[in-house]
Every structure is written in structure tokens, then in C-alpha cells.
Amino acid sequence: MNDRIPDRRGTLIFDGDCGFCTSVVRLLSRYVAPGVDYRPWQREDLDASALTIEQVTREVWWLHPDEIRAGGARAFARVLRHGRRPWPIAGRLMELRPIAAPAGLVYRWIARNRSRLPGGTPACRVEGRRPSP
């Protein structure tokens, strides 16, 4: 996997060109899960992380040496699970069968509309967007 993951911490790979994503990561790192390593995919060795451009432009990714990789809503739930209380409870709830499907729908809606959300810019658009080098 990715040998740069420090001290068994989890890593969230996100879109560093997206203002909305960057704003959310700033909030997560400050108030929810400061122990998580947040990295923009544009500065990540995707081959070492076994991720593709298509994957990282579509959704966030959770990488942890002791856990299964997860994308989208599952990745977000993993960040919450590694956060301060009460966030781990919310993360566990998001992974339960009755909540996981709606959480995935909400995540996909947010991902498709992130350019229109607070902090979003035209660079946040997913459809028709070319990945940064």
C-alpha cells in the first residue's frame, strides 16, 4: 500500500483543487479528526496508493494500514470513526446497512454539486473536468 502513512494513522485523499473539499478537510482536521493525515491527490503518488485518477477525481479515499480501503461515504465514515467523541459513533452509524445506502446517495449528490456548495468554485466541478497533472 502506501509506505508514507505515518504511525498507523489513517489518510484521507481528497481533491486539493476543490475549494469545497479543502474547506471540509480544514473543518475535519480542526474539529473532528485532527489525528488523520489529509492529503490532496494532486500531491500523492497514486501508484503507491494503488489509486487511479478516475477514483480520486470521483470521490475521497480512506487509506489505513490496518483497514480496508474505502471511497466516498465509507471513507468519510472512516474519518469520523477516527475522530474525537462523539464523531466515532456517527461514523459507525454511517456504516450500518440501513444508513449506509442513504449516506452513499447523499455523498454522491454532494460530490456532483460541490461547485455550488459553500466554498465551491468552478474548479470543483466533477463532470467534464480534466484531472490536474
Q: How many CA atoms lie within 13 A of 86 on its CB side?
A: 2
Supply the range of the domain harboring residue 21.
Answer: 6-120
Whether omega before 86 lies within 30 degrees of 0, making that bond cis, reads yes
In a domain, 54, yes or no: yes
Please report the pLDDT score of residue 9 as a whole number.
Answer: 86
In a domain, 126, yes or no: no
Please report the pLDDT score of residue 117 as a whole number.
Answer: 85
In a domain, 129, yes or no: no
Please report the pLDDT score of residue 5 as a whole number.
Answer: 41
Reported as a single tens digit per residue, the pLDDT across 26-35 is 999 999 999 9
Please report the pLDDT score of residue 38 as a whole number.
Answer: 97
In a domain, 96, yes or no: yes
CA 33 to each of CA 69, 88, 108: distance values in angstroms, whole numbers, following the listed order: 18, 9, 22
In a domain, 1, yes or no: no
Reported as a single tens digit per residue, the pLDDT across 20-62 is 999 999 999 999 999 999 999 999 999 999 999 999 999 999 9
Please report the pLDDT score of residue 31 as a whole number.
Answer: 96
In a domain, 89, yes or no: yes
Reported as a single tens digit per residue, the pLDDT across 80-133 is 999 999 999 999 999 999 999 999 999 999 999 988 888 777 777 765 444 443
CB atoms < 10 A from the CB of 6, how many? 7
Please report the pLDDT score of residue 115 as a whole number.
Answer: 85
In a domain, 132, yes or no: no
In a domain, 127, yes or no: no
Please report the pLDDT score of residue 25 as a whole number.
Answer: 97
Number of domains making up the chain: 1
As a three-state string, the secondary structure of 3-34 is CCCHHHCCEEEECCCCHHHHHHHHHHHHHHCC
Please report the pLDDT score of residue 116 as a whole number.
Answer: 85
Q: In angstroms, rounded to a whole number, what is the distance separating the alpha carbons of residues 24 and 8?
A: 23
Q: In angstroms, rounded to a whole number, what is the distance separating the alpha carbons of residues 79 and 91?
A: 7
* Residue 2 pLDDT > 80: no
User: Cell numbers of 2, please?
Assistant: 502506501
